[in-house]
């Protein structure tokens, strides 16, 4: 307070009020005011009252000031101040001073210490303050620019509520009792209005606070008067139910209309039960606040009952829990995912302690949750990585937010296993690390499968040896090593001789067992450092490293040949003998890359086969030339089959020893090459086989033989049989019967003149296709002979089943009948067997009188061989026919 003495404010003001009271300030009895008189002050106060009643908070001070102005004018007061302090509130008090929009020091002090003023008024309603009454009185009088101050106070419930200070001079005016009563009434009114406005202010503030809080919390409140069926609600409740802001109230029906139809019955039931039982409810239901919008709400209700216990109202809250419910649902879903995930999940807090793990973690690592939760995560890092590794992982996580990679970890049972690990850092709202989430999958099965796939990709399933891909890798490594150490490498390609016969005659399972036995023998005999691979089919490859000399390789080739020279037992009941042809290349002499070394070794192997099989050959440049010549010959043969003027059919007579007559002939193909002259089948048939030309070639021969037969028949030649060789590919390819039917029809030939020679191999696969072909040939009247009989593995049952007409004894047996007992036994056995089965028999390759005599003696009269005639060109054979 301005001009305040040094004593404390409390003591000072107590003194002022005490002296004022002792100064008999009240003039007259306030209660004695006659009601009939209406002084002019009353009129002033009446108009002020009217204004007050319609004022609002903003205009309150202005109204007070203008009333103050009129009052002071009416009472000849030079200055005036009014202070109103609403009850029980430290705020909301008002202080206005006439002609002073700026607060005077007195007004400032009153505003600043309203509580103290209240205490100081001390129950006095009217007091008079003179300037000379002391410092404080002087201060008040100075504030109001006067010598004397009339101070009127009003008390509400014994509490000072307002006071009016009117500045006067000692010789002018002192209010009488009626004026004091009027002013006191006016002060009361001013107090009540101010108090009401303050209360309204507080209510408004509370309402606004409630609204904002409800909006923030998404919770609204409501009240339901059940007697009136009137439901009122806050703005937030209105928003949740979709009622417009100006909707003041609704009834129950209108409320239920906003409930989702499927939930309506349940909600109505809860309301009814609540009314019946007097209990509140807590329900969750769907509401449709606006078209196409669906929200989930939770409604809490309590009841209000009348004196008789009857429920007359309900009140409660409504909360929009759509998002919260969705979040809960998502959290539950996430929890379920974690529970059922195949990946292990480990959550670690910011201090590195394990917070939680999921079941997959336990399944993969073997650690139960109870054993790891709460322990430092380092306890689990028992893999093959050191601390520095995990520190760097942590640094990256912190820097980049995550880390991903494959690590080796250890299960509880000590087993190391690969895991694909991804660590993510979680941060709180302040950006501080809150958790680390590690998700990992057990890669051991995948790695194992990958290894298996790699193994299968590089190994042959039948023998377990490296396959071509594996061989290429091994050979490349061998070359790389040899290049560094300046060593040599040998590549040996091994091809089993006549393996196809084994397959054809004994079947594929026996062939497979033979290949497995060969692989075992090779692997057992060679050093671990040598590579043994199977390229496919019946071809093996051996890679020898650290080769010192060609001689050394020759020795190994000899060893390999010896390996194959020994018989194999593959469960067929007898030992199998199979030779092998070997082709050899050396690094670096013959090539510097894998493909070259392998292909040259193949070329050398082919040459070894040509040499008569069961040989080995080192690669030479000339062999490449021969191989390319063979390629060239293949395309020339293809052209020859088209052109018709290079291929010729020669005929070799078949003679009946008894009569000396020619009873048949074998058609044999010859190739009159424009540059190379006459080429024999022994050279071009392998080329035809390599190029897949055998079916074309066989059909070419059949066509030309049929054409020739037609001519001979037309010429009236005595009947004889012409045998045509049909190879297995042609026999099983299909279409042979149709082709022959067409040829027989086209050339009108007697089918009994035609015989097809097939090898035993062609008969060993009794497929429906083969059986149908034989049926068809028989139906056409064409006979069947088995060529090279005795070299294959036909069973007697097969001979009958395939309705064979003739057996041709292979010339190898015939050629040995004079020198070897074995040849004689085989030959006589075949003859007897043919006789027993009712089949014709013919001996091939009869070259000597001794052979002829032996055959005659055994009962084989039909012979073919140089002794009777070599194969003859058509002209010569035609001449032969004439004799
Ligand atoms: N699919 C076809 N195969 C054919 C055809 N023409 C021939 N061939 C097959 O080629 C192989 C070699 O035949 P070739 O050089 O014609 O030899 C035949 C005869 O010349 C030979 N032969 C006949 N008698 C004797 C003899 O007393 N001594 C001896 N060293 N050789 C002789 O035998 C061959 C006939 O044999 P085969 O067919 O087993 O009766 C050969 O396998 C032919 O089959 C053809 O057109 N299509």
Mapped to the 3 state alphabet, what secondary structure does 4-20 carry?
CCCCCHHHHHHHHHHHH
Whose CA is closest to atom 32 on ligand 1? 845
- Rounded distance from Cα 788 to ligand 1 centre (Å): 10
Pocket of ligand 1 (CB under 6 A): 652, 666-669, 680-682, 685, 698, 701, 725, 727, 787-788, 811, 844-847, 864-866, 871
873 φ, ψ (degrees, to nearest 5): -65, 160
Lowest mean pLDDT among 2-16, 513-527, 579-593: 2-16
CA distance 828 to 836: 12
102-106, 602-606, 679-683, 812-816: range with lowest mean pLDDT: 102-106
749 contact partners, CB below 8 Å, separation of at least 6? 706, 709, 710, 713, 743
N- to C-terminal Cα distance for the chain? 166
What tens digit of pLDDT does each residue of 415-434 get? 999 999 999 999 998 999 99
Atom of ligand 1 nearest to the CA of 701: 46
Atom number of ligand 1 nearest to Cα 685: 10
Distance between Cα 768 and ligand 1 center (Å): 29
Expressed in angstroms and rounded, the spacing between residue 729 Cα and the centre of ligand 1 is: 18
pLDDT tens-digit map of 75-91: 878 888 888 887 655 56
pLDDT tops 60 at residue 394: yes
CB 755 within 8 Å of CB 783: yes
Distance of CA 765 to the CA centre of its chain: 48
Query: Atom 33, ligand 1: which residue's CA is nearest?
Result: 845
Superfamily of domain 636-882: EAL domain (3.20.20.450)
Q: Enumerate the CATH 3.20.20.450 domain ranges in the chain, comma separated.
A: 636-882
pLDDT reading at 564 higher than 60: yes
Residue 108, Cβ density class (10 Å: 0-12 exposed, 13-18 middle, ≥19 buried): middle
Name the closest-CA residue to atom 1, ligand 1.
725
Q: 684: CA distance to ligand 1 center in Å?
A: 12
Provide the sign of the torsion angle of the four alpha carbons 812, 815, 820, 823, taken in this order: positive
**pLDDT given at position 115:** 65
Least confident of 51-55, 672-676, 785-789, 840-844: 51-55
Token pair 């593959």 in the structure block, residue: 570
**How confident is the prediction for the chain on average, in pLDDT?**
86
Compute the distance between CA of residue 75 and CA of residue 41 in angstroms, rounded to an integer: 8
pLDDT for the residue 795: 61
Distance of CA 32 to the CA centre of its chain: 99
Nearest CA to ligand 1 atom 22: 845
On the question of pLDDT at 490 being above 90, the answer is: yes
Average pLDDT of the residues in 715-741: 89
Query: What pLDDT is attached to residue 118?
Result: 65
Q: In angstroms, what is the span from residue 871 Cα to ligand 1's centroid?
A: 9
CA of 709 to the centre of ligand 1 (A): 20
In this prediction, residue 22 carries a pLDDT of 40
- Tokens 């009252």 belong to residue: 49
HEC string of 103-128 equals CCHHHHHHHHCHHHHHHHHCCCCEEE
The residue whose CA is least distant from atom 20 of ligand 1 is 871
Q: Count CB-CB contacts under 10 A for residue 729.
A: 16
In whole angstroms, how far apart are CA 756 and each of 785, 805, 846? Answer: 6, 10, 21
Give ranges for CATH 3.30.70.270 in the chain.
459-619
* Cα of 211 vs its chain's centroid, Å: 49
Strand residue runs (E) in 772-855? 783-789, 806-809, 840-843
User: If you measure from the C-alpha of residue 651 to the centroid of ligand 1, how many angstroms do you get, rounded to a whole number?
Assistant: 10
CB of 582 within 8 A of CB of 607? no
Question: Residue 8: is its pLDDT beyond 60?
Answer: no
Atom index in ligand 1 nearest the CA of residue 846 equals 27
Model pLDDT, residue 441: 94
C-alpha distances out from residue 381 to 350, 384, 406, 878, Å: 17, 9, 14, 96
Of 73, 74, 75, 93, the C-alpha closest to 83 is: 93
> What is the model's pLDDT at position 87?
67
What pLDDT band is residue 796 in, cutting at 50, 70 and 90? Answer: low
| pLDDT above 90 (res 139) | no
How would residue 119 be classed by pLDDT, with cut points 50, 70 and 90? Answer: low
- Note whether 788 and 744 are within 8 A (CB): no
Among 498, 651, 725, 843, the mutation site with the greatest number of ligand 1 atoms within 8 A of its Cβ is: 725
What CATH code would you report for 459-619?
A: 3.30.70.270
Q: What is the CA(668)–ligand 1 centre distance, in A?
A: 6
Residue with tokens 């049926």: 775
Say if residue 19's pLDDT is above 60: no
> For position 120, what pLDDT does the model report?
57
Contact (Cβ atoms closer than 8 angstroms) between residue 493 and residue 541: yes
User: pLDDT-based confidence at 760, cuts 50/70/90?
Assistant: confident
CATH class of the structural domain 345-447: alpha beta
* Residue where the block lists tokens 């002792």: 22
Q: Where in the chain is the domain with CATH 3.30.450.20?
A: 218-325, 345-447
Q: What is the pLDDT of residue 670?
A: 96
Q: Given this model, what pLDDT does residue 761 score?
A: 65
Q: List the structure tokens of 487.
A: 């060593």
Kindly give the number of the ligand 1 atom that is closest to the alpha carbon of 864.
24
Nearest CA to ligand 1 atom 44: 725
pLDDT digits 0-9 by tens, 497-513: 878 777 776 788 889 99
Distance CA(107)–CA(69), nearest Å, equals 16
Instruction: Provide the whole-model pTM.
Output: 0.47
Phi, psi of 632 (to 5 degrees): -65, -45
Q: What is the pLDDT of residue 114?
A: 67
Which has the higher per-residue pLDDT, 409 or 759?
A: 409
State the number of CA atoms in the 13 A half-sphere of 550 facing the CB: 10
Q: CA neighbours within 13 Å on the CB side: how many for 761?
A: 15
pLDDT of residue 191: 85
| Class of CATH domain 218-325 | alpha beta
Q: 24-28, 87-91, 637-641: which has the highest mean pLDDT? A: 637-641
Q: Helix, strand or coil for residue 833?
A: helix
CB 265 within 8 Å of CB 273: no
How many CB atoms lie under 10 A from the CB of residue 657? Answer: 17
- When computed from its CA atoms, the radius of gyration of the chain, rounded to whole angstroms, is 62
By most ligand atoms within 8 Å of CB, the mutation choice from 647, 668, 708 for ligand 1 is 668
Q: Is the pLDDT of residue 33 over 70?
A: no
Question: Which are the contacts of 484, defined by CB distance < 8 A and separation ≥ 6?
Answer: none
Tens digit of each residue's pLDDT (9 = 90 or more) over 309-367 = 999 999 999 999 999 999 999 989 888 988 999 999 999 999 999 999 999 999 999 99
Cα gap 797→795, rounded to integer Å: 5
- CB atoms under 10 Å from CB of 287, counted, come to 24
Task: Please tell me the predicted confidence (pLDDT) of residue 11.
Answer: 45
Q: 855: CA distance to ligand 1 center in Å?
A: 20
Residue nearest to ligand 1 atom 21, measured at CA:
845
* Residue ranges matching CATH 3.30.450.80 in the chain: 9-202
Contact 93, 85 (CB under 8 A): yes
Q: Distance from the CA of 682 to the center of ligand 1, in angstroms? A: 8
Q: What is the pLDDT of residue 123?
A: 65
Digit-coded pLDDT (tens) for 246-260:
898 999 999 999 999
Residues 540-559 as b/e (b if ≥16 CB within 10 A, e otherwise) read: bbbbbbbbeeeeebeebbee
Kindly give the number of the ligand 1 atom that is closest to the alpha carbon of 866: 27
Average pLDDT over residues 730-759: 91
Q: Quote the ligand 1 centre to 642 CA distance (angstroms).
A: 23
What does CATH list as the number for 9-202?
Answer: 3.30.450.80
For the cut 80, the answer to whether the pLDDT of residue 701 exceeds it is: yes
Alpha carbons 138 and 146: distance in angstroms, whole number: 9
Using most ligand atoms within 8 A of CB, pick from 654, 681, 736 the residue to mutate for ligand 1.
681
Range picked from 88-102, 217-231, 561-575, 721-735 for highest mean pLDDT:
217-231
**How crowded is residue 10: how many other Cβ atoms within 10 Å of its Cβ?**
12
């Amino acid at each position: 307070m301005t001009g305040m003495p040094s004593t404390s404010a409390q003591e000072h003001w107590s003194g002022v009020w005490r002296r004022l009271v002792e100064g008999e300030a009240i003039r007259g009895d306030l209660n004695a005011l006659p009601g009939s008189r209406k002084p002019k002050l009353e009129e002033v106060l009446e108009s002020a009252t009217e204004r007050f009643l319609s004022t609002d908070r903003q205009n309150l001070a202005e109204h007070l000031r203008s009333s103050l102005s009129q009052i002071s004018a009416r009472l000849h007061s030079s200055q005036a101040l009014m202070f109103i302090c609403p009850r029980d509130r430290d705020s909301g008090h008002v202080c206005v001073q006439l002609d002073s929009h700026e607060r005077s020091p007195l007004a400032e002090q009153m505003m600043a210490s309203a509580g103290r003023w209240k205490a100081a008024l001390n129950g006095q309603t009217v007091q008079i303050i003179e300037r000379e009454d002391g410092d404080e009185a002087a201060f008040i009088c100075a504030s109001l620019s006067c010598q004397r101050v009339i101070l009127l106070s009003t008390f509400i419930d014994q509490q000072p509520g307002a006071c009016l200070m009117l500045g006067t001079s000692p010789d002018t005016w002192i209010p009488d009792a009626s004026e004091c009563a009027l002013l006191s009434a006016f002060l009361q009114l001013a107090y009540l209005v101010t108090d009401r406005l303050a209360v309204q202010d507080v209510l408004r503030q509370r309402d606004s606070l409630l609204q904002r809080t409800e909006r923030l919390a998404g919770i609204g409140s409501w009240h339901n008067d059940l007697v009136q069926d009137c439901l009122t609600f806050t703005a937030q409740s209105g928003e949740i139910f979709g009622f417009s802001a100006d909707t003041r109230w609704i009834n129950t029906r209108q409320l239920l209309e906003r409930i989702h139809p499927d939930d309506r019955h349940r909600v109505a039931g809860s309301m009814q039960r609540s009314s019946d039982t007097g209990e509140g409810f807590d329900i969750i239901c769907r509401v449709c606040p606006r078209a196409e919008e669906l929200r989930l709400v939770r409604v809490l209700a309590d009841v209000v009952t009348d004196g008789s216990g009857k429920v007359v109202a309900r009140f409660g809250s409504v909360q929009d829990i759509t998002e919260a419910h969705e979040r809960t649902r998502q959290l539950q879903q996430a929890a379920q995912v974690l529970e059922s995930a195949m990946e292990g999940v480990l959550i670690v807090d910011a201090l590195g302690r394990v917070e939680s793990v999921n079941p997959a973690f336990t399944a993969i690592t073997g650690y139960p949750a109870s054993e790891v939760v709460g322990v430092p995560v380092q306890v689990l890092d028992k893999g093959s990585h050191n601390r520095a590794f995990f520190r760097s992982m942590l640094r990256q996580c912190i820097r980049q937010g995550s880390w991903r990679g494959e690590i080796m970890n250890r299960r509880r049972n000590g087993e190391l296993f690969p895991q694909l690990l991804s660590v993510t850092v979680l941060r709180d709202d302040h950006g501080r690390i809150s958790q680390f989430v590690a998700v990992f999958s057990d890669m051991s099965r995948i790695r194992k499968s990958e290894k298996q796939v790699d193994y299968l990709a590089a190994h042959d399933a039948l023998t377990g040896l490296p396959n071509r891909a594996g061989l290429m890798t091994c050979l490349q490594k061998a070359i790389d090593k040899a290049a560094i150490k300046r060593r040599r490498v040998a590549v040996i390609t091994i091809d089993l001789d006549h393996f196809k016969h084994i397959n054809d005659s004994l079947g594929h399972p026996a062939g497979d067992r033979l290949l497995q036995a060969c692989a075992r023998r090779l692997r057992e005999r060679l050093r671990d450092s040598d590579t043994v691979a199977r390229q496919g089919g019946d071809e093996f490859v051996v890679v020898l490293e650290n080769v010192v000399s060609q001689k050394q390789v020759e020795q190994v080739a000899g060893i390999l040949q010896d390996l194959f020279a020994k018989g194999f037992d593959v469960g067929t009941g007898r030992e199998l003998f199979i030779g092998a042809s070997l082709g050899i290349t050396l690094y670096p002499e013959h090539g510097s890359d894998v493909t070259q070394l392998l292909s040259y070794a193949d070329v050398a192997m082919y040459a070894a086969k040509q040499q008569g099989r069961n040989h080995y050959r080192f690669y030479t440049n000339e062999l490449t030339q021969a191989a390319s010549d063979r390629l060239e010959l293949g395309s020339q043969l293809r052209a020859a089959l088209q052109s018709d003027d290079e291929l010729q059919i020669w005929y070799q007579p078949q003679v009946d020893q008894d009569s000396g007559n020619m009873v048949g002939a074998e058609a044999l193909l010859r190739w009159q090459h424009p540059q190379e002259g006459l080429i024999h089948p022994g050279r071009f048939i392998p080329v035809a086989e390599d190029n897949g030309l055998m079916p074309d070639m066989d059909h070419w021969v059949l066509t030309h033989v049929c054409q020739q037969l037609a001519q001979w028949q037309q010429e009236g030649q005595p009947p004889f049989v012409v045998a045509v060789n049909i190879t297995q590919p042609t026999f099983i390819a299909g279409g042979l019967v149709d082709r022959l039917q067409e040829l027989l029809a086209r050339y009108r030939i007697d089918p009994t003149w035609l015989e097809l020679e097939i090898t035993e191999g062609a008969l060993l696969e009794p497929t429906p296709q083969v059986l149908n072909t034989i049926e068809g040939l028989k139906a056409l009247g064409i006979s069947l002979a088995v060529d090279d009989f005795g070299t294959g593995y036909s069973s007697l049952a097969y001979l009958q089943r395939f309705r064979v007409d003739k057996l041709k004894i292979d010339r190898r047996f015939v050629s040995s009948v004079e020198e070897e007992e074995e040849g004689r036994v085989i030959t006589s056995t075949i003859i007897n067997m043919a006789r027993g089965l009712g089949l014709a028999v013919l001996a091939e390759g009869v070259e000597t009188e001794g052979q002829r005599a032996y055959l005659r003696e055994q009962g084989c009269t039909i012979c073919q061989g140089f002794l009777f005639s070599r194969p003859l060109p058509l002209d010569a054979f035609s001449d032969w026919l004439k004799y």
